[in-house]
Amino acid sequence: MSSATTVSVSEPGTQPGQDAAGAVLVPVAHGRQAAPSPAPVAAAYLGQLVVGRAVRLGSRTSPMAMAQARHVAALLTALVPRVEVTLAGISTSADQWAGDLAALGGKGAFTKEIDRALLMGEIDAAVHCMKDVPGDVPLPAGLLFASYLPREDIRDCLVFPVSSDGAALADLPAGARIGTSSVRRKAQLGRNRPDLAVHRVRGNVNSRLARLDAGDFDALVLARAGLARIGMTSRAAETFDTDTMCPAVGAGVIGLQCRADDKGLLELLRVLDDAPTRTHVTAERTIHGLQGHCNSPIAGHCATTPDGQIALRGMAFTRDGGEFVHAMEWGPASRPAELGAYLAGLLLRKGARDLIMGIPH
């Protein structure tokens, strides 16, 4: 049974004729009376989808995860001001485990207790970081991702102790201790700075920063979006470009998952779906056709090009980054899964399978 703590979320208000950001929904035409705003009609319709019920959002319990859940709750109450939204913090096995994730079966340990709570009806929707959702494991039957929120910053960054005047990777001396929980980051650090000592660090971002400031490490590599969610972007010293540190699949994306048969909530959550983000995430997650394991350094990123196509980049590394394969392909935005599958096949033909299977797991 999952452990859950429920807290209420207050409902933000908006002015008549404005959206949640304060933008005027219906402009005033010259010499004519403004048309009635559709906002009340839309809110009334959306409210009927969840009438007579509260919406229970499930999330991991870290400060970053709960900040994401509060953000989603605010989006829902902006759409339907009278809806009651509560948050349920669920402690996952990965959050409680300090060892190698491989012992728990990989990244799925971040989601299985939340999946169970959703299937058992203990929560109505789950808020996930998509980079923590395995792409090579089918979703439990009956669950789906109703929406992906607009993508945030995809980049990784270097963080120094508060007592340090370091500003960049180049400032670190040979043998400096770098903390990261990601084999993808470790491999790419090894590719760029093989003289550094990379150590595994687990725990939420706040606890990692505390260990950094206590002197356990000389620097950390963290997701810039994660720092933003807990209001600590000022801690980012150097932000890596995607050539230096290719992002994780699903980086910077919050996904909202619900039961497929919860039609009302499904329709409400779909209002929050960002179509370009869904296209990009679909292409990236299909790269997992490489069938890597949780110790596989695999990276991928998709973006829309100026001509409307999508460009997909994928990489696979040895653990130390000494060897890697890389591929990039373009295709129509209407076929992201096909592009991802093609890129995965191209990486396999270049030797990605040998790199992946050569890493203990």
Structure tokens at 361: 């797991």
Distance in angstroms (rounded) separating the CA atoms of residues 38 and 25: 8
Closest C-alpha among 49, 116, 112, 46 to residue 81: 46
Structure tokens at 144: 């789906």
Residue whose entry in the numeric block shows the structure tokens 């933000």: 12
Distance in angstroms (rounded) separating the CA atoms of residues 94 and 97: 5
User: Residue 39: enclosing H or E segment and its boundaries?
Assistant: helix 39-49
User: Residue 250: enclosing H or E segment and its boundaries?
Assistant: none
Beta bridge partners of 301: 313
Whole-number CA gyration radius for the chain: 22
Number of helical H runs and strand E runs in the chain: 11, 14
Beta strands in 192-269 (DSSP E): 197-200, 219-223, 236-239, 254-259
User: Residue 191: enclosing H or E segment and its boundaries?
Assistant: helix 183-192
CA 149 remoteness from chain centre: 10
95, 132, 218, 262: the catalytic one is 132
Instruction: Give yes or no: 132 in active site.
Output: yes
Distance in angstroms (rounded) separating the CA atoms of residues 255 and 44: 25
Q: Report the side by side order of strands in the sheet with 254-259.
A: 4-8, 84-90, 54-59, 125-129, 254-259, 143-148
Q: Report the side by side order of strands in the sheet with 298-304.
A: 298-304, 310-317, 324-331
Structure tokens at 145: 């991702």
Q: Which amino acid is at 232?
A: M
Distance in angstroms (rounded) separating the CA atoms of residues 115 and 144: 10
Structure tokens at 87: 């948050």
Q: Which residues are catalytic?
A: 132
